[in-house]
Structure 1
Amino acid sequence: MDSRDELAARLDACQKCNMCTAQCPVAKVNPRFIGPKGLGPDMERFRRGQINLDETMLDDCSNCKTCELTCPSGVKITEMILGARRAASKARHKNTMGLRLGLRGYILGRNEYLGKLGVIWPTLTNQVLKIKLVRLAIDKTLSISKNGPLPAYGKPLKIQPDKVGIGTNTNKQVVYFPGCYTRFNEGDTGRILIRLLEHLGYKTIVPDFHCCGLPLEANGQFGKADKNGRYNLELMRPYLEAGIPVITSCTSCGLTLKEDYPKLETSSAQLIGAQAYDLFEFLWQLHEKGELPLDFQEVRASYGYHPPCHLKAQGIGTPALRILGLIPGVKIRNLDAGCCGLSGSYGFKAEKYEKAMKIGSGLFEAINVGAEHGDFQSMTTECGVCKVQIVHGTGIPTVHPVRILAKAYRLID
């Protein structure tokens, strides 16, 4: 099937049911947004290699993947929208662009470099970013909202490359892809994860990966995103060829590895999709094989659980809920109250901040009501950015579920 026939088949699969737009978090709060059906399949019919749509409308899509989850025909709607944004990015570089927005996209797309700077002196960095005048200056110069949450920096996660080489017992080795947030903002989560896997008998390898590329893609820097992907795949290649799984603790990084990396033109791209696992997806498979120790201590605690959009898009259900449900004393309630609204760098942008808060309002209300009724005292979610937004919108303490599991194994207090 040539590309024109393939495009026609994808467009014909859209049944015009409008379910995607009805469920779109952005369309619910922004009446000017034409929705994923209009922005994806409908407009695709008129794009003959040209962008016939205001690029700001393309940027209104937060890439949460809700439309693809909702579509009864399996149409890759966000893939069409991202393709249009990629074409728009090429057209934009041929023309002049506002310096402020161009610089903002450059900065927001480079979480990795911001992280490396931020952790040089994290305490000072965090204090400076709390100063109102500094936030106002950033808002005026870069259009990064002065009201939005900014993740705090902490002790970075130490890289642990395989210095000895791949051993003979590859069944007890894993590669860990931590992602920028874990690496620079919440290194403790990564350290606990490594300690947990080692407790289960796994040697954990942490190569010096670049950013997965999703923030770059979200800010129109597709070429750099692809370059990062190829670099990371080359680091993974010897492990993938040896059949060693790649574990992620960030749902957005995990989705990128599973869905975007296989499209890159490298030999290892053919392996990554089947060998990339969310941490709890991996642990549940161990449990199903009878290889997960169940010597848990009782953990008397109650949590509300937020399933991130990019976890849902992986189609693996909620393995963290299943694993935590095995721990005696743990009470956990799946809120499933919609998108948090931050969507990577989407909610940091000044013109998107209010929309992001409206998108997350249903989740915030569900959390506040549950906490007020005593259903839970804390929240848990796998996505670091969702955690930042939940704390910003509700003030409720939020942790990664790996902390709860590590506590049950007596690895942390």
Structure 2
Amino acid sequence: MNIEQERMLTLDDCIKCSACSAQCPVAAVYPSFPGPKSVGPDMERLRLEGVRLDSKVLAYCSNCKTCEVTCPSGVKITAMIQGARKDSLKKKNSSALKQVRHSKFYVQHRVRDALLGHAEYLGRAGTILPKMTNRLLGIGLMRGFMEKSLGISRYASIPKYQARFKIKESGNVSPADSDFNPEQSVVYFPGCFVNYNDAQTGYAITKVLEHQGYTVIVPPFHCCGVPLTANGHFTAAEEKAKRNLALMEPYLKAGIPIITSCTSCGLTLKEDYPSVKGPGAERIGEQSYDFFEFLWKLNEQGKLKKDFRTISESLGYHAPCHLKAQGIGTPAVRILRLIPGIQIADLDAGCCGLSGSYGFKAEKYNLAQKIGSNLFRSAREGVVQKRFQSIISECSGCREQIEHGSGVKAEHPVWTLVKAYGLIRMDN
């Protein structure tokens, strides 16, 4: 069953309780957004009757999936909204689209969304000379020019580029190799942020997996497609998915787990890739694991290595929206609490507001800051009250937004494991 069919079958399951709209982080701070019930199931019924409504409001859905997590009936609300966005792009002669095209921002936003959607290409360009790129993006005049010409907020915190993430030794091991051991192998899907902005975390992930006795395989993956989908390039996103599945297929066929350290990549592999037509799609959902989800599975099997050092630290934990949408709880918290001396406080303070490229856009920057204000306040207060020293979160976007909005240091929870195992921090 594909996403389109699933969204149709769940439409009548909506009981109009409005729980989704009550919990929507965008609707809470932006009255012009009517909420996921209105732009999801309610508008879906009208769309099925051929009624074309103003599609501009759909762009204010941040795709955080809080509505689907909240819904007691399992309605695929976000899928309906994304489907409506996709449909509006196809209806090139619709009056709503003509109205949008007459907007003075139409060309600017189209160019910007194409750039933000193709994050992989930006990453490749940015990592050629990362220091120079970072200096250029740090100049106020350049940021002002980017806002005026492209609509990318001059105030948004743009992640710095680093040397690209590369695994030299075991990255291209194949199931066809005579000495290949599928029982002790995993495939790591690093995602664009690790590939171009945070190679260190990628190395930390591989070090911990190797410490568990696994050979870590990293095929030359492409972007998972989330930035493309978020910016309206649905066909290109599907092509990325097909290319990634083609790279995964021999490993999936051999029963090897696919590990992600980015919650958005992980959700996409689990939820979107199974509906893509191509080899491997039927296996990817069941064989994909968040990094800490995989470690917890090892722990339940009695296979997790627990040669931990005592680490006297207090950490604040932020659960990303796309982790919640996976329905796996907070395995990072469960794993880290096995380490002697670790204290973890779950902030439980809502969405950070960034939502991928959503918060980078000039017209949405202030909105994103309002969405994340409760989280920022909780982070600052926690440090001042000495309940914790820093923040951990699996999502790179959340970490970037937390540091930007609160000034509190945030890092991937894998680094706590690196300390506890006594592993050496790798250089670029």
TM bin (shorter chain): over 0.9
Amino acid across the alignment from 1:85: R
Secondary structure of 2:91's aligned partner:
helix
Q: CA deviation at 1:278?
A: 0.2
Which residue of the other structure, out of 106, 116, 121, is the alignment partner of 1:108?
116
Q: Does 1:282 align with 2:294?
A: yes
Deviates most, 152-161 or 306-315: 152-161
Separation in structure 2 between the aligned mates of residue 385 and residue 351 of structure 1, nearest angstrom:
18
Q: Does 1:213 align with 2:225?
A: yes
- 1:367-409 superposed Cα distances (whole Å, 9 cap, x missing partner): 1111110011111000001010000001111110011001100
Q: CA deviation at 1:51?
A: 6.5
Q: CA deviation at 1:266?
A: 1.2
Which residue of the other structure, out of 305, 318, 324, is the alignment partner of 2:330?
318
Q: Does 1:249 align with 2:257?
A: no
Secondary structure of 1:46's aligned partner:
helix
Which residue of the other structure, out of 395, 410, 414, is the alignment partner of 1:383?
395
- 1:221-257 superposed Cα distances (whole Å, 9 cap, x missing partner): 0000000000000000000000000000000000000
Contact 2:319/2:394 (CA < 8 Å) preserved in 1? Answer: yes
Q: CA deviation at 1:7?
A: 6.5
* Alignment of structure 1 residues 227-238 onto 2, 5 Å: 227-238=239-250
Separation in structure 2 between the aligned mates of residue 204 and residue 350 of structure 1, nearest angstrom:
40
In the alignment, what sits opposite 1:264? 276
Alpha carbons of structure 1 residues 203 and 45: separation in structure 2 relative to 1, 3 Å: same
In the alignment, what sits opposite 1:12? 12
Secondary structure of 2:216's aligned partner:
strand
Alpha carbons of structure 1 residues 4 and 313: separation in structure 2 relative to 1, 3 Å: closer
Which residue of the other structure, out of 384, 403, 409, is the alignment partner of 2:415?
403
Separation in structure 1 between the aligned mates of residue 298 and residue 256 of structure 2, nearest angstrom:
15
* Alignment of structure 1 residues 349-368 onto 2, 5 Å: 349-368=361-380
Amino acid across the alignment from 2:207: R
* Alignment of structure 1 residues 4-403 onto 2, 5 Å: 9-48=9-48, 50=50, 52-92=52-92, 97=101, 98-160=106-168, 161-163=171-173, 165-166=175-176, 167-403=179-415
Contact 2:206/2:216 (CA < 8 Å) preserved in 1? Answer: yes
Contact 2:4/2:83 (CA < 8 Å) preserved in 1? Answer: no
Alpha carbons of structure 1 residues 46 and 208: separation in structure 2 relative to 1, 3 Å: same
Q: CA deviation at 1:91?
A: 2.6
Alpha carbons of structure 1 residues 8 and 103: separation in structure 2 relative to 1, 3 Å: closer
Q: CA deviation at 1:145?
A: 0.5
Amino acid across the alignment from 1:154: Q
Contact 2:173/2:217 (CA < 8 Å) preserved in 1? Answer: no
TM-score normalized by structure 1? Answer: 0.96
Contact 1:51/1:84 (CA < 8 Å) preserved in 2? Answer: no
Separation in structure 1 between the aligned mates of residue 297 and residue 41 of structure 2, nearest angstrom:
37
- 1:11-38 superposed Cα distances (whole Å, 9 cap, x missing partner): 2211111100000000000011110000
Contact 1:347/1:356 (CA < 8 Å) preserved in 2? Answer: yes
Alpha carbons of structure 1 residues 223 and 375: separation in structure 2 relative to 1, 3 Å: same
Alpha carbons of structure 1 residues 117 and 333: separation in structure 2 relative to 1, 3 Å: same
Contact 2:309/2:340 (CA < 8 Å) preserved in 1? Answer: yes
Separation in structure 2 between the aligned mates of residue 172 and residue 140 of structure 1, nearest angstrom:
52
Q: CA deviation at 1:92?
A: 4.4
- 1:52-91 superposed Cα distances (whole Å, 9 cap, x missing partner): 2222200000000000011111101001001001111223
Contact 2:185/2:216 (CA < 8 Å) preserved in 1? Answer: yes
Contact 2:175/2:251 (CA < 8 Å) preserved in 1? Answer: no
Say what the alpha-carbon RMSD is for the aligned residues: 2.0
Separation in structure 1 between the aligned mates of residue 203 and residue 381 of structure 2, nearest angstrom:
33
Identity rate, percent: 54
Q: CA deviation at 1:93?
A: 9.1
Q: CA deviation at 1:48?
A: 3.1
Question: Which consecutive residues of structure 2, in runs of 5 or more, have no partner in the other structure?
Answer: none
Q: CA deviation at 1:10?
A: 2.2
Separation in structure 2 between the aligned mates of residue 351 and residue 214 of structure 1, nearest angstrom:
20
Q: CA deviation at 1:165?
A: 4.3
Contact 1:159/1:207 (CA < 8 Å) preserved in 2? Answer: no
Secondary structure of 1:47's aligned partner:
helix
Q: CA deviation at 1:49?
A: 7.5
Q: CA deviation at 1:412?
A: 3.3
Amino acid across the alignment from 2:248: M
Secondary structure of 1:154's aligned partner:
coil
- 1:185-233 superposed Cα distances (whole Å, 9 cap, x missing partner): 0000001111111111100011111100010000000000000000000
Alpha carbons of structure 1 residues 248 and 78: separation in structure 2 relative to 1, 3 Å: same
Alpha carbons of structure 1 residues 112 and 90: separation in structure 2 relative to 1, 3 Å: same
Secondary structure of 2:123's aligned partner:
helix
Question: Which consecutive residues of structure 1, in runs of 5 or more, have no partner in the other structure?
Answer: none
Deviates most, 228-237 or 190-199: 190-199
Amino acid across the alignment from 1:235: L
